[in-house]
Structure 1
């Protein structure tokens, strides 16, 4: 049976207000890019970009992946808390997770450190076969 995976590009209210005023506003491509590495025979893939969409908190996901930037860290922790209360596993990656894995590990089940092109597929292969807590992948 396929697992459901949600990839979130988070954006807190302050950043969203600022971005909506910009003329040259580009979406972040991190999560759509990482979605391309997901084996569709093993996962149903869902994407949410908070710039344009609201997150619907439901427990139909097996894992929620969030890219954490420092300016959004507290917002990401709030998102994680809501999903974890529903029993959903959370994986954090991104610049803040790479720089401060000990901090972010308090708010998630898995931390991915380093460049996603290598570490993300490795995580997905491990997650599909086991759900060990707090598996940290480091690219050297």
Structure 2
């Protein structure tokens, strides 16, 4: 059976993108766990045109809520051409009933446990409306199909070492989408990190860890980073700011080639942090934590939220000044 996996995207710019920074992991991961008797293609809409005339037997759509209208538009166009369409991802997990008005079948939750079954059923003509995926134990996952990526991603090597996060911030979907905290065997992660069949030197050099909170389990991350040192990679990820209190971890991050970390700092207001149940953040610690990372040559990317219940126009206006004060390199709002 021929399967097209489409990672749905809505262009930010009228002319679209000629290049992009990092691909989502979903498409190339689904391709990797697809049984070999099926032919699979992965299309990233942020860089590739959608071929409505494809000869695929099955169209699989993955998308976030912000891209749901585009996903439903595509589903309608494909179904009008007689294609069967399935869907999964965060939006589908939260609104399967609404999604089923537009597609033939949905996956609720993580796909690993049901993907092969869904393909078997589609091939046999017995596709069910709903498949419930259970949390994956993360052992034995194959290397993503990096060979199916278009060459225009600056950092094509996305690797997932862990999944989930033990914190329960009130605004975050991770605890329900990826429950618990699970780790892949270090040897399997290193196999992905060592993959180097990319055309450009920087693509062979840089790794993006596609993790919810990479550094939570200290023994695990310290073993992984120690074993990464000989590979001489540069890497980025997202984590919690409390890692900056661990000098041994910081030393291993520097030695293994960490060049940037994304943190969800969210706000400069302690009351808003408490309201969001963001108990791992301390506003008074922001400046010192960032300085510790900078001393190791690690850039800091930070996400902030405007619109907490306690926010005022003044707190939002002060946010820009505070960003400069604490030394954030790349802010996101």
Secondary structure of the residue aligned to 1:107 is coil
CA contact (8 A) 2:87 2:103 kept: yes
Distance in 1 between the 2:73 and 2:125 partners?
26
Matched, 1:27 2:20: no
Q: 2:11 aligns with which of 13, 16, 21?
A: 13
CA contact (8 A) 1:38 1:121 kept: yes
Q: Structure 1: 5+ residue runs without aligned partners?
A: none
Distance in 2 between the 1:11 and 1:68 partners?
7
Distance apart, 1:124 and its partner CA: 1.6
Secondary structure of the residue aligned to 2:75 is helix
Distance apart, 1:25 and its partner CA: 2.5
Distance in 1 between the 2:78 and 2:126 partners?
16
* 1:82-101 pair list within 5 angstroms: 82-101=77-96
Flag as ranges the 4+ runs of structure 1 deviating above 6 A.
Answer: none
Distance apart, 1:94 and its partner CA: 0.4
Partner of 2:35: 39
- Deviation digits for residues 82-140 of structure 1 (CA, Å, limit 9, x no counterpart): 101100000010010011000000000011111011121221222222334x4311135
Distance apart, 1:29 and its partner CA: 1.2
TM-score, scaled to structure 1:
0.85
CA contact (8 A) 2:112 2:133 kept: no
Give the count of matched residue pairs. 132
**Greater RCO, 1 or 2 (C-alpha within 8 Å, sep 6+):** 1
CA contact (8 A) 1:5 1:62 kept: yes
Structure with max Cα Rg: 2
Distance in 2 between the 1:125 and 1:82 partners?
24
Distance in 2 between the 1:135 and 1:125 partners?
14
**CA root-mean-square deviation:** 2.1
Secondary structure of the residue aligned to 1:106 is coil
CA contact (8 A) 1:10 1:67 kept: yes
CA contact (8 A) 1:59 1:87 kept: no
